[in-house]
Structure 1
C-alpha cells in the first residue's frame, strides 16, 4: 500500500481543447511520491505498457526495473498486478536476478504487508514468475528459501498454487519440520500445498485482512453507485469522478466508468476524464474498466492505447487489447509473443492465438 500521488506535469497525450483534469492535483501524504507518469520510472511504477516499451529501448532501464521491485508501488497489493510485468522486463532485458534474490532474503523481516515499500512479496512473486518461465536459478532460490527462510509459508504457498506438483512435492518433509517453528505468515489450509498434504488440524487457518483501508468500505458495499447508473446524469458522474481524483480517492472508479460506458459515443465529454485516470491512477486494477469505457465511446481514438495495452501490467487490460487492437505488423508480432509466453495467462494466450488464426484465415480467403 502506498500513499497519494503528486503529479505536476500534464499528460503527454492531452489535447489542447480538453480541460486539464489535474491542474490542482496536489494531494500528498507521508512524504510518498510516485514519479511523473510521463517519465520512464513513473510509467514503470504504474505498470503502464508504454513503460515496458520504452524500457526495452533504454540502456539504463535495468536499474529502474530493480528499483520498482525493491519498492512495491502497487496501490492495492491484493489485486494490482506487477509480478508478470516486472518478470518479463527482467527476462527480456536479460537482467541479473542476484539483486532480486538478495532483496528476498534481506526484506523478510518486514512482515507487515502494509509496510511502505517492503518489497518482499513482490520480489518473491517476480522470482516465482521467472521460475515458471524456465529460469532455473530463480526456482532453486525459492526452494532454498522454503528450507531456511523466515517467511517460508508465503513462498511455499505461492509456488504450490502456481507450479506443477512435481516441482514442490519434495518439500514436504522439510515443511513438516518447520511447522513447529514460529510462523510469520497465514497458513491457508484450503489451498495448496495443504490440500495435497492434508496436514490435519494441529494448526488453525490464520487469515489476514488485506484490504486497502480506503477500499474496504466500498468493497463491502458492493462498489455500486447509490442510485444506479440510470439515475445519474453524465455531468453528475463527471463531478464525482473529478472529486475522487482531486482527493486521491483511487478506489471505486469501476462503477463510474461502467456507467459512462453505457452511454456509448454520446459520452464523448467524458474522454478527458477517462484519459486522465488511465495515466494517473496508481490503482492499476481499475484500468481495464477505463479502457473498456474509452473503447466504447471512441473506438478509433483508442487504437494507440490498445496497442500499448498489450504490454500493460494488468491481465484484464492485455485481454481487452488482444481482443480489439487493430492488426498490423507490430501488433501481430506482440500477439504472437503473448500466445507463446509461459508468463501469460491462459485466456490472453487463447485470445491472442484466435486473433492471429483469424487474420491468417482472412489472408488465405483473400
Structure 2
C-alpha cells in the first residue's frame, strides 16, 4: 500500500484536488474514471489527507467516489488489517478506511463487513471501527460483536467508550450486565454554560474581583457577564498581559468582545497592527465582524499574509470580513485560497468571502460546491448555509 502515500500534491492535478476534497476533483474523477482517480481515492482512504481530523470531512466524499468508481474493497480491507508495530500509532491511518468500508458493507459488500468485524476483534482502535459500523448499519451491522468487545476490554477501557445515546451500547445492555452497569453509572454530561451563582446580581466591582483573582472557569463566567453588560473594561482586559494563559491568549475573550460590537472598533484597529499575535488576531476578528470600508486594507493585508504563509485557518476570519464588506480587491487572493487550501473546512469561509466580494462573478463556484467534501460548503448550494 505504500504506493498510495502522496503528500504535498499540486492543487491543479486531479490527485491534488481529490486529496483536498474539492468538488472539482470529484467531478473530474467521475468524468474520466481513470487509473489516477482510482489510485488517488485508494490513497485518501489509507493515507488520511486531512490537516485537522477534528473538523474536516471526507467520508461522504470518498464513499461516493468509491461507489461510483466501483472500487474493490480488498485493498482498503488489507490496509485496515495490516499488522503494525506496537510503537506505531495507527488511529489516524484507519479512520477513513473504516468509514468507507462501513459504507460499502451497507451496500452489501461482504468482504468490507468481514474486515470491519475482524478489526473490532483484533485491531488496536476497535472502537473507531465499531462507531463506523453503527453509523452505517446500526445494530444489524454490529450484531454478535458484544462478546468479543467484552473479552478484549476491561471496565476502565469500556467506561471510556460507553455512551448512553451513541453506539451499540444501549442495544447490547439488555444482555450484557457489564455494559448495563456502566450505562447506569454514566451521568449526563454538563452543558457547561451556566453560572454557579447569580452573576447578574453582582456589581461591576465584584465581577472584576472574580476576573482578577479567581480561577479560569470563574473568570470566564465573569467576563461573559461583563460582555452582556457591554462593559468597555473588556478592552483593557484584552490588552493586559496578566490575563494571558501559558499559550499567550485569554480564554473566552473573543466571545465576550463580540458583545461590544462596533464599540470595540477604535481599539481593535490598533490591535490589528500590533506585533502581539494574540492581540492582532483579536483585532482582526473585530474588524471582520464589525468593521467598515476603512478597515478593508487592514483585512486584506492580513488575508494576503495568511495566504503567503499558507496559514489556511488564519485566513478564515479576514475572508469572512472582506466578503461582508464586498471587497472586490480581495477576490484574486480568495480564489487562490479556495484552490490551494489543504484545510478543507476553511473553504466554507473562503466561499462566503468570494460570494460577498465577487457576487455573480463567483457563481460558478456554487456548481463545484455542490460536490465538496464539506457539508458546510455544500449548504451554500441549498441556501441553508449560516454566515
TM > 0.5: yes
TM-score normalized by structure 1?
0.66
Q: Conserved in 2, the CA contact under 8 Å of 1:104 and 1:120?
A: yes
Q: Conserved in 1, the CA contact under 8 Å of 2:338 and 2:350?
A: yes
Q: Is 1:317 the equivalent of 2:293?
A: no
Larger deviation, residues 41-50 vs 249-258? 249-258
* Offset at residue 303 of structure 1 (A): 2.3
CA distance in 1, matches of 2:54, 2:356: 28
Q: 2:98 aligns with which of 121, 124, 128?
A: 124
CA distance in 2, matches of 1:124, 1:300: 40
Aligned residue number for residue 180 of structure 1: 154
Q: Is 1:54 the equivalent of 2:28?
A: yes
Larger deviation, residues 152-161 vs 187-196? 187-196
Q: Conserved in 2, the CA contact under 8 Å of 1:147 and 1:175?
A: yes
Q: Conserved in 2, the CA contact under 8 Å of 1:104 and 1:124?
A: yes
CA distance in 2, matches of 1:217, 1:129: 41
- State the SS of the aligned residue for 2:383: helix
Q: Is 1:238 the equivalent of 2:303?
A: no
Query: Which consecutive unaligned segments of at least 5 residues does structure 2 have?
Result: 1-5, 174-178, 188-246, 259-280
* Offset at residue 302 of structure 1 (A): 1.8
* Offset at residue 95 of structure 1 (A): 1.2
Deviations 1:238-288 (A, max 9, x none): 111122222232223333222122213xx1111112111101111101111
User: Closer, same or farther in 2 for the Cα pair 1:162/1:188, shift >3 Å?
Assistant: farther
Which residues of 2 match residues 51-130 of structure 1 at below 5 A?
51-56=25-30, 57-60=32-35, 61-106=37-82, 110-111=88-89, 113=91, 119-130=93-104
User: Closer, same or farther in 2 for the Cα pair 1:272/1:216, shift >3 Å?
Assistant: farther
Q: Conserved in 1, the CA contact under 8 Å of 2:74 and 2:112?
A: no
Q: 1:192 aligns with which of 156, 167, 181?
A: 167
Aligned residue number for residue 23 of structure 1: none
Q: 1:294 aligns with which of 332, 335, 354?
A: 354
User: Closer, same or farther in 2 for the Cα pair 1:284/1:201, shift >3 Å?
Assistant: same
CA distance in 2, matches of 1:100, 1:48: 22
Q: Conserved in 2, the CA contact under 8 Å of 1:274 and 1:294?
A: yes
User: Closer, same or farther in 2 for the Cα pair 1:253/1:165, shift >3 Å?
Assistant: farther
User: Closer, same or farther in 2 for the Cα pair 1:106/1:276, shift >3 Å?
Assistant: same
- State the SS of the aligned residue for 2:89: coil
* Offset at residue 134 of structure 1 (A): 4.7
* Offset at residue 126 of structure 1 (A): 1.6
User: Closer, same or farther in 2 for the Cα pair 1:310/1:231, shift >3 Å?
Assistant: closer
* Offset at residue 53 of structure 1 (A): 1.2
User: Closer, same or farther in 2 for the Cα pair 1:142/1:36, shift >3 Å?
Assistant: same
CA distance in 2, matches of 1:108, 1:219: 39
The two structures, once aligned, show a CA RMSD in angstroms of: 3.4
User: Closer, same or farther in 2 for the Cα pair 1:235/1:82, shift >3 Å?
Assistant: same
Larger deviation, residues 51-60 vs 168-177? 168-177
* Offset at residue 107 of structure 1 (A): 6.3
Aligned residue number for residue 249 of structure 1: 311
CA distance in 2, matches of 1:218, 1:58: 50
Structure having greater relative contact order (Cα 8 Å, sep ≥ 6): 1
CA distance in 2, matches of 1:292, 1:157: 33
User: Closer, same or farther in 2 for the Cα pair 1:74/1:221, shift >3 Å?
Assistant: farther
* Offset at residue 144 of structure 1 (A): 2.9
Aligned residue number for residue 4 of structure 1: none
Flag the structure with larger Rg. Answer: 2
CA distance in 1, matches of 2:129, 2:136: 11
* Offset at residue 85 of structure 1 (A): 1.0
Q: 1:305 aligns with which of 362, 365, 375?
A: 365
TM-score normalized by structure 2?
0.63
Q: Conserved in 1, the CA contact under 8 Å of 2:81 and 2:115?
A: no
Q: 1:259 aligns with which of 321, 327, 333?
A: 321
Q: Conserved in 2, the CA contact under 8 Å of 1:251 and 1:283?
A: yes
CA distance in 2, matches of 1:76, 1:217: 21
User: Closer, same or farther in 2 for the Cα pair 1:307/1:249, shift >3 Å?
Assistant: same
User: Closer, same or farther in 2 for the Cα pair 1:44/1:98, shift >3 Å?
Assistant: same
* Offset at residue 77 of structure 1 (A): 0.9
CA distance in 2, matches of 1:235, 1:92: 45
